[in-house]
Amino acid sequence: MTGNHLAALSIADLQSLLRSREVSSREVIDSLRERIEAIDGDLGAYLSLDVEAAIKEAEHANVDLPLGGIPIAIKDIINVMGQPCSCASKILDGYRAPYDATVIQKLRAAGAIPFGKTNLDEFAMGSSTENSAVKSTCNPWDPSRVPGGSSGGSAAAVAADEAFGALGSDTGGSIRQPAALCGVVGLKPTYGRISRFGLVAFASSLDQIGPVTKTVRDAAVIMSAIAGHDPLDSTSLNAPVPDYVGSLGKDLRGVRLGVPKEYMIEGIDPQVRAAIDAAVKQLNSLGAEIIEVSLPSTEYAIAVYYIIATAEASANLARFDGVRYGYRAENPQDVLDLYGRTREEGFGPEVKRRIILGTYVLSSGYYDAYYLRAQKVRELIRRDFTSAFEKVDALISPTSPVAAFKVGERVADPLQMYLADIFTIAANLAGICGISVPCGFAELNGHRLPIGLQLLGKPLDEARILQIAHAYEQSTEWHKARPPIAPSLSKA
């Protein structure tokens, strides 16, 4: 089997070859390295790659472990010992992680090899990966379009067979939206399901790590490895981890799926809408009962999010001051000059905007009008989901109202960029789980652009949304489509 064919495999298929000793973990690393060397100069999914470290780990891989010998790409906002963790920001220039995040320890314990750090919007703030201070990542289906964000590097790498699977982080849709725009699977677990220890904090009450994969089964395999309580994250939930892989394959008879009427709004691209309508019919034909539900506070979700997320970010990012790690402005006159210039020179525009907005909404005189009110509306959004889940097992919607948009199209207007997250953001506010699975294509200017179907589930009900997503995926061919790597990307 040639390197390129190996790189195209799912984790499950690769696992069979490793366990039957048809390929070695070392060959797997080599195949990925070749693929990355051939196309990543143009795709731009990776920020750093330590091949030597991965080869060393591959030589001792125990392929009988759940992820034995499988390389997994890591969003460059999660600490991997000895590797850079730049958050795609100049302010973490030169920083190398002195420890492993809990998810990395868990991946290693399951036999996986963390391989490569992927691009993102700076500090995960964005929906297109264009806010990366390091480089741009393009969409493998059309290089003139964005891969989505903020986990755009992880999604593009998996879609273009530069990774078998990846970890991303999702604060308002940052796993699900790029997965949808790149045509892969992305799961945002329930808040607290996965330890955040070692994930650089953006908005601590919303952030959650999750898998980006080629198939739903692969997402279940990674979930089984990384889920669980961690004493180092006091918000992680002390609840048993179910057998996510074992829950796959059950049929959908008796499953009740809700279509929120507020989600079928104007502004959804007609091709996206048609794909979602077809997916709803397909799920119905598989035995699921479709019920219309209402989430009346939906229209407030983005407003609530941009108050709460920026407030938390303004506090979390106060630690980047040039003192203990990362970038430091040269020749500071005094300590205030050190802070002010380090942060001026180290942060990009979107990060500065959010810190300023967050500082403002928390400030005396404005706290009640903005932050406190947003936290109350957040409670109403949470209640909407609680009532909906009394009637249904999961909710269906588009992941994104549009397919991948053009590079540069939304950069100048932050509010337009924020509206890209309209279907994903409420899940973070309510703490529930969600998955995006490929459900079709939009045809735009001769390019096929992937569309994602989002399934939202009750807290800690990942097994259920994986089961539904898997049943849908296996009854369609969408997940088998590969991007027609454009001419400039096809040197492989």
Partner 1 sequence: MAGSSDLDVADVARVARINLREDEAKIFQKQLDDVLKYVEKLRQVDVTGVDMTGHALPVFNVFRDDAPRDWFTADQALTNASRQANGLFVVPRVVE
Cα–Cα distance between 216 and 474 in angstroms, integer?
Answer: 9
Q: In the stretch 14-53, what mask flags binding to partner 1 with x, by CB under 8 A?
A: ----------------------------------------
Residue 321 makes contact with partner 1 by CB under 8 A: yes
Question: Minimum Å distance from CB 14 to partner 1?
Answer: 35
Shortest Å, Cβ 326 to partner 1 = 7
The nearest distance, CB 127 to partner 1, in angstroms, is: 14
The CB-of-32 to partner 1 minimum distance in angstroms stands at: 28
The residue range among 4-12, 254-262, 274-282, 314-322 that interacts with partner 1, by the rule CB under 8 A, is 314-322
Binding mask 123-162 for partner 1 (x = CB under 8 A): ----------------------------------------
Q: Which is nearer to partner 1, 66 or 296 (CB)?
A: 296
Is 174 labeled as catalytic in the residue annotation? yes
Alpha-carbon distance of 299 to 215, in angstroms, equals 32
Contacts of 365 (CB under 8 A, 6+ apart): none
Q: Per rule CB under 8 A, is residue 299 in the interface with partner 1? A: yes
Report the nearest approach of partner 1 to the CB of residue 302 (Å). Answer: 8
Structure tokens at 224: 């089984």
In this structure, what token pair is assigned to residue 277?
A: 């309508």
* Interface size with partner 1, residues (CB under 8 A): 74
Q: Which stretch binds partner 1 (CB under 8 A): 33-41, 105-113, 285-293, 411-419?
A: 411-419
Q: For partner 1, which is the closer residue by CB, 95 or 164?
A: 95
150 is a catalytic site residue: yes
Q: Which of the ranges 66-74, 109-117, 164-172, 341-349 carries the binding residues for partner 1, by CB under 8 A? A: 341-349
Query: Which of 109, 372, 408, 491 is close enough to bind partner 1 by CB under 8 A?
Result: 372
Token representation of residue 440: 């079709």
Output 205 or 247, the one with its CB closest to partner 1.
205
Residue from 338, 422, 449, 468 touching partner 1 (CB under 8 A): that is: 338
Tell me if 292 contacts partner 1 by CB under 8 A: no
395 is a site residue for partner 1 (CB under 8 A):
no
Q: Which of 89, 127, 132, 150 is catalytic?
A: 150
Question: Using CA atoms, how far apart are residues 436 and 181, in angstroms rounded to an integer?
Answer: 10
Tell which one of 164, 197, 263, 325 touches partner 1 (CB under 8 A): 325
> What does the alpha-carbon distance between residue 139 and residue 128 come to, in Å, rounded to a whole number?
10
12 vs 239 by CB, closer to partner 1: 239
Range 193-212, binding partner 1 (CB under 8 A) = 205
**Interface with partner 1, residue 359, by CB under 8 A:** yes
> Is residue 240 a contact residue for partner 1 (CB under 8 A)?
no
* Residue 94 touches partner 1, criterion: CB under 8 A: yes
The reply on whether position 370 binds partner 1 by CB under 8 A is yes
Q: In this complex, which beta carbon is closest to partner 1, that of residue 68 or of residue 340?
A: 340
The piece of 92-100, 117-125, 214-222, 469-477 that touches partner 1 (CB under 8 A) is 92-100
One of 337, 391, 408, 491 touching partner 1 (CB under 8 A)? 337
Contact between 364 and partner 1 per CB under 8 A = no
What 92-99 contacts at long range (C-beta under 8 Å, 24+ apart), as own/partner pairs, is 92/320, 92/325, 92/326, 92/327, 93/326, 93/327, 93/346, 94/326, 94/327, 95/325, 95/326, 97/198, 99/198
Q: Taking contact as CB under 8 A, which single stretch among the options 46-54, 59-67, 327-335, 465-473 is the one that binds partner 1? A: 327-335
421 lines the binding site for partner 1 (CB under 8 A): no
Q: Pick one of 24, 48, 235, 474: the residue that binds partner 1 (CB under 8 A).
A: 235
Active-site amino acid positions: 75, 150, 174
